[in-house]
Chains A and B, each alone.
Chain A
Amino acid sequence: MNASQTQSKKLRQAGIVRRVIFVLVAVAVIVPYILKPNLPGEPNHWAEEVYKRVDTLKPGSHMMLAFNFEPSSGAELYPMVRVVLMHCFKKGVVPVLMTHYTNALNLMKQVVAESATQAKKKWGKDVQPGKDYVILGYRPGDEMLIVNMGENLKGAFDKDLDNRLTQNMPALKGVNSLRDLDLAMDFASSGTTQMWIAYGSDKFGFPLVAGTTAVQAPDLYIYLPPSGQLKGFLGGLRGAADYETLLCRSDNVAVEGPANKGMPSQSAVHVMLVLLILGANVRMIYGKFAGKRKV
């Protein structure tokens, strides 16, 4: 067999191995939905900090939710927003939603509708727009918008997404700027959390927590205490699952929710990937020794 035939054979083998791995990943994700294993898991410290911050808010407090992701990151962040909104409705906290992304608007309405339905079903809370929550919507400007909201929130958003005037809105009573917020949370799929830290919480002095995709998570650890620029943070689907666990425990019910449903699949794929990486490394090291012995 000449060199080009050997190369072609290796490429074909690599193609087959690649496809086998894809099938293994698919099986590792799908099988837990059929078997439904009950895997133990403890929420991490930073998820508990976010939960405590929301849980200690008094009824009538205002919490801004910056909805900064698009449907492409919805798999990780939608369950997170859903459970935080449910917690807000349970505690009587008024969530104030806004976004820097045009593609997020309908997703915002969808998650609020779903959380409101769950809040009514679980705790009998009947939430009304304009009174118990407000969706401010989208304005362009990124950092400029945050500075604008920090100085005059109702000037930045004179109407909400449904064209109601914000000036005398019951949901925004007592909130004229970001300084008047009791808590803010940025749900981010890109670098908006750093923007909110720099132009928001550091400048106007309100407490900020974050919920981000897992890809963003490593960049945010430096802002957690002792730095204190972020008071807590939820990382990826695991963060959403931790929050769901804490909320269900507070109600003394079995842990449930879309994020927790995904955790057995997450664990299965991670175990499979670790085994594959270890196996590949063992094979590589064995191949090196075998090659040396031949020489």
Chain B
Amino acid sequence: MPEPELIPDSTQNNRWSPIEMGVLATMVVVFLAVSLWRQTVEGIAHNPYDTIGIIVAAGLTLIMYSFLYRDNPLFKIAENLYVGISLGYATVMGWREALRPEVFDPLFRAPTETVLYDTLLHRSVPIILGILLVTRLSRKYGWLSRYSFGMLIGWGSGMGIAITTHTFILKQLETAIGPFQGAGQHAAVVPFSWPWMTAVALPILLAGIVMIGTVAVLWYFFFSVEHKRAGGALSKLGILFLMVSFGASFGYTVMGRVSLLIGRVQFLLFDWLKIPR
């Protein structure tokens, strides 16, 4: 006879055992009781919107964290609520802050004829191009959106290519070769002295490492030639540099995720449970 599962394996099935259902119901009751105790009935009466908002936010936070145990209907509800509210809020704010003041009001609520003519003169083309973008949703008339996309891509390329080349390539190249150029400016410094080491040798060494690493990583991604012998060794060096950078990114990402958890814990402790700061 198989042993009863105290902690069911959630990868095997989605059924909740009676113990799990009981624990979940108890936790909901405890949450409501703690919320009423810490937020107090007076708090709700005095400042209902903020207080109820804190209770709802705390509840949704804990529901989201319930996923760490296993997927559950409450988590699904909270997840869909999050997506829906974000989209709804963004839509309303987009209408309020952009579409209404820039399109609707100048066209349909212009205070004077002069303003209306000015709107028609200066804004009609952008408004029409914006509407044409929406035709993308139609199979029959979707070709009309190409005019708008053409404008967007044309403007983007025209602005972006020069700026991107300057900012992300040329400026970085300048920085990479700068230490080699700068060595000449320190000709008066005594070679192999401490000032020489810090002003000349160390920057050149570091710049050299960066240059070798850049070439090695670029070589790793060059698949037109088989990576054999020296090319293979350079490719392996590129992988090493990539691993170091992924490690640094991973470390920062862990710090970022922990910070988000800390933010939520601060909210739960200081705003929901009202523990003194």
Contacts and interface: CB of A to CB of B under 8 A. Distances in A.
A137 B259 contact: no
A102 B167 contact: no
B191 interface: no
A276 to B, nearest CB: 11
Interface in B154-184: 155-156, 159-160, 163-164, 166-168, 171-172, 174-175, 178
Interface stretch (A83-91, A167-175, A265-273, A280-288): A265-273
A165 to B, nearest CB: 13
A263 to B, nearest CB: 9
A57 interface: no
B262 A29 contact: yes
A102 B100 CA distance: 14
A218 B259 contact: no
Residue of B168, B172, B245, B259 with most partner-chain A CB within 10 A = B259
A43 interface: no
A199 B253 contact: no
Contact of B159 (A197, A199, A236): A199
Interface in B77-109: 86, 89-90, 93-94, 97-98, 101
Interface in A1-56: 8, 11-12, 15-16, 19, 22, 25, 29-30, 33
Interface residues of B, number: 50
Nearest to B248: A218
Interface string A187-223: 0000000100111001100000000011101100010
B12 interface: yes
A227 B262 contact: no
Given A8-B12, A217-B252, A227-B171, A103 B89 contact: yes
Interface in A162-183: none
A102 B90 contact: yes
Interface residues of A, number: 55
Nearest to A237: B259
A291 interface: no
A214 B255 contact: yes
B262 A237 contact: yes
A75 interface: yes
Contacts of B86: 70, 103
A197 B167 contact: yes
Interface stretch (A60-68, A123-131, A139-147): A139-147
B254 interface: yes
A74 B259 CA distance: 10
A142 B256 CA distance: 25
B155 to A, nearest CB: 8
A137 B156 CA distance: 24
B269 interface: yes
B24 interface: no
Contacts of A273: 254
A213 B97 contact: no
B259 A8 contact: no
Interface in B3-20: 5, 7, 9-12
Given A214-B256, A218-B245, 4 more contacts: A105-B97, A143-B159, A214-B255, A227-B175
20 contacts: A11-B9, A11-B12, A22-B68, A29-B265, A70-B86, A74-B263, A75-B262, A76-B259, A102-B98, A103-B90, A105-B93, A138-B93, A139-B97, A159-B101, A198-B163, A203-B163, A213-B259, A214-B255, A226-B178, A262-B259
Interface of B: 5, 7, 9-12, 68-69, 86, 89-90, 93-94, 97-98, 101, 155-156, 159-160, 163-164, 166-168, 171-172, 174-175, 178, 245, 248-249, 252-256, 258-266, 269, 275, 277
Interface of A: 8, 11-12, 15-16, 19, 22, 25, 29-30, 33, 70, 73-76, 78, 102-103, 105, 137-140, 143-144, 147, 159, 194, 197-199, 202-203, 213-215, 217-218, 222, 226-227, 229, 235-238, 258, 261-262, 265-266, 269-270, 273
